[in-house]
Chains A and B, each alone.
Chain A
Amino acid sequence: MSIATRLPRPAAIARHLVLLVLAAVTLLPFVWMISTSLKPQAEVFLSEIRWWPEKLHVVENYTAAFAKAPLLRFLLNGAVVTAAIFVLQVAVALPAAYALAKLRFRGRQTVFALVLFCVLIPPQAIAVPLFLLFHQLGILDSYAALIVPFTISVFGIFLMRQFFLGVPDDLVDAARMDGISEVGIVWRVMLPTAIPAVTAFGIFSVVAHWNDYFWPLIVLNSEPLFTPPLGVAAFRNAEAGTDYGPLMAAATVIIAPLVVAFLFAQRRFIEGIAFTGLK
């Protein structure tokens, strides 16, 4: 598949040289973060570069990180919120996508046009009215405030509709012959065929909402509800340049779940994040 017909040896070496240097630069913030998370305070404030600490402070820094901030709580919040968002998104989007792809009804064009219109709306642009709505409803500073705005994924509807269009009508007809209800068709016939698409969408959704900072920052006040990005930012504000070891340990803990998952399932992640986000 490569562009070149086998590179001559010097070129092949040059290729690796350039790519390795770029890779090193790309990984630098990660390497430095992890290296700092292993250092005692005395070695953090040095005027020389020390990649590996003379005295390892792994246990001290990571215990301090978990003791100074409820990191586990933040991770748990992140897991609860992203899981709830994803499940609700699928619960809302899949039936609508099925209707748009497989049922003939008046108003279908209009509904689809609305979906396409809504895909265009950047979430930040409607933050002010949503905030006021949640204020009116009295649900600011709650899990609900974090989850509800994202229960509707028009993008998910669009993606699943495209996928369902490719599912043969015969499958749906056969299910109807067997006496399966329409709701049953959505969940017991369509969903199983759509697992790859749902997985890609799931990765897209989980990564986006695990990393989201803008909306949680706006609606949350109480630390026990903080999602991982908000938690690590609060930790940093509290420590303000005094104790980098535990801070970097906390940052490492926050990014670890997604990065580790990515390393185990690279292809799926790239499909989910890069390609699902486009089509």
Chain B
Amino acid sequence: MADVTLRQDAAVAARPGRRPARDISRLREQWTAIALSAPALFLMALLLIGPVAAVLVMSFTDYQLGASAIAFIGLENYRDLFSDRVFWTSLGNTLRYVAIVVPASVALGLGVALLIESGDSLKRFYRAVFFIPVMATLIAMAISWEYMLHPQFGLINLLLKKVGLAPHAWLTDPALALPTLAVIGIWQLFGFNMVLFLAGLVSIPRHLYDAAELDGVRSAWSRFWLVTWPMLGPVTMFVVIISAIRSFQVFDTVQVLTKGGPNKASEVLLYTMYSEGFEFFRSGRAAAIAVVFLAFVLTLTVIKARLIEKRVHYL
């Protein structure tokens, strides 16, 4: 920055004959802008850019919190990670979780939005009800879910028993733990998707439906496939990506309800990173997992940014 102002000073000095009023005001603007953005730039460097660089560098070291020495070990952490069964289980579980939560929460969000918009009464009520899980503290709600899923006294098993179905140990059965967490994830996310779809639906021009009607499109079903669905295309892509980013970050429910268990059945990427970095303090290894996590989320986020650019032209 100093370099920039020096050059500006030089530019001012180079024209001695003219009163450099404009140059002076330019220079003032330059300084004002730097002063106004300085706190933000400093904090960005300290708390975001620096740490991103640090996490990359650390992933090539054997650093452990409290250790006196630190050595560069090249790709050792990554080699270790990629030959570790737990890591692959964890990545696989994360992707499985995403693969359950994304389609279900998008479909449910769309379905509910369509139903709400297809009538006139109680719209605000329904919208509010489905949105409550989005903002209610997930940890508190996870604890409520845990009690509902209690093998003996839980509401879910009691309801199943009532209709003559077998009860399950939802959170302790290795086959069920991850899908159960995914159901909680869907429950929490679909209201968010609903709101995005509602906004998308409202922006579909009314005359398209009139035109379809004139062309003899009568049933709601064909109206949906001919008008609504194509018009919602970009919104849907967007919602899919957002849901993927959100569900890739699953952590709270895992940490409180299963701790990655039973037997790693619900181990997910952020939870693995958390236990390596903050329970075992193997910082280098945790950094390598963070880099893998970052790679996935960045890819999704870049796709999202592309979609936003496109959507600007579309809508």
Tell me, rounded to whole Å, the shortest Cβ–Cβ distance linking A72 to chain B: 16
Which B residues are in CB contact (< 8 Å) with A100? 37
Residues of chain B within 8 A of A46, CB atoms compared: 153
B237 CB contacts on chain A under 8 angstroms: none
Distance in angstroms from A128 CB to nearest chain B CB is: 5
Task: Give chain B nearest CB distance to A33 CB in angstroms.
Answer: 4
Residues of B within 8 A of A258 (CB): 135-137
Give the docked Cα–Cα distance between A107 and B31 (Å).
Answer: 11
Give the size of the chain A interface in residues (CB under 8 angstroms). 104
Asked if B51 and A133 make an inter-chain contact with CB atoms under 8 angstroms apart, the answer reads: yes
B142-173 contacts to A, CB under 8 A, are 143-148, 150, 152-153, 155, 158-159, 162
Shortest A236–chain B CB gap in Å is 5
User: How far apart sit A182 and B223, CA to CA, in the bound complex (Å)?
Assistant: 55
Q: How far in angstroms is the closest Cβ of chain A from B56?
A: 10
Contact check, A103 vs B33: say whether CB atoms are below 8 A apart.
yes
Checking B195, B242, B286 against A270 with a beta-carbon cut-off of 8 angstroms, the contacting residue is B195
Is A4 a contact partner of B118 (Cβ separation < 8 A)? yes
Asked if A107 and B4 make an inter-chain contact with CB atoms under 8 angstroms apart, the answer reads yes
Q: Is B133 an interface residue (CB 8 A)?
A: yes
Which chain B positions have C-beta within 8 A of A36?
147
Do residues A126 and B55 form an inter-chain contact, with CB atoms below 8 A?
A: yes
Chain B count of residues within 8 A CB distance of the other chain = 107
> Would you call A22 and B130 a contact (CB within 8 A)?
yes
Given known A23-B129, A122-B297, A125-B297, contact A232–B40 (CB-CB < 8 A): no
B158 x A47 contact (CB < 8 A): yes
Contact between chains at B277 and A228 (CB < 8 Å): no
Q: Is B49's CB within 8 Å of the partner chain A? A: yes
Q: How far is the CA of A113 from the CA of B146 in the complex (A)?
A: 44
A124 engages B36 (CB within 8 Å)? no
Q: Smallest CB–CB gap between A102 and chain B, Å? A: 9
Least Cβ–Cβ distance between B119 and chain A, in angstroms: 5
Which A residues are CB-close (under 8 A) to B242?
A: 278
A171 within 8 A of partner (CB): no
In the docked arrangement, what's the CA distance between A4 and B222, Å? Answer: 12
In the assembled complex, B21 has its CB within 8 A of some CB on chain A: no
Give the residue of A3, A120, A278 whose beta carbon is less than 8 angstroms from that of B228: A3
Which chain A residues border B226 with CB–CB below 8 Å?
none
Known A103-B32, A127-B290, A148-B47: A48·B130 in contact at CB below 8 Å: no
User: Interface 1/0s, chain A 248-274, versus B by CB < 8 A?
Assistant: 100110110011001100100110011
Closest residue on chain B to residue A149 by CB atoms: B47
Is B213 positioned at the interface, with any CB of A under 8 Å from its CB? yes
Query: In the complex the two chains form, is A96's CB within 8 Å of B40's CB?
Result: yes
B175 proximal to A (CB < 8 A): no
**Within 8 Å CB of B144, what residues of A?**
29-30, 32-33, 248, 251
Do A105 and B118 contact each other (CB < 8 Å), given the known contacts A3-B201, A22-B112, A125-B294?
Answer: no
- Complexed CA–CA distance, A106 and B32 (Å): 12
Measured in the bound complex, the distance between the Cα atoms of B305 and A94 in whole Å is 23
User: Can you report 16 residue pairs joining A to B where beta carbons are below 8 Å apart?
Assistant: A4-B220, A22-B130, A23-B126, A23-B130, A27-B132, A30-B132, A33-B147, A48-B158, A122-B294, A122-B297, A125-B297, A126-B51, A182-B32, A214-B270, A230-B139, A241-B150
Please give 14 more A-B residue pairs, beta carbons under 8 A apart, in addition to A103-B36, A105-B34: A7-B118, A26-B132, A33-B140, A96-B40, A118-B49, A121-B294, A127-B290, A128-B283, A148-B47, A211-B137, A214-B252, A228-B140, A244-B147, A259-B132
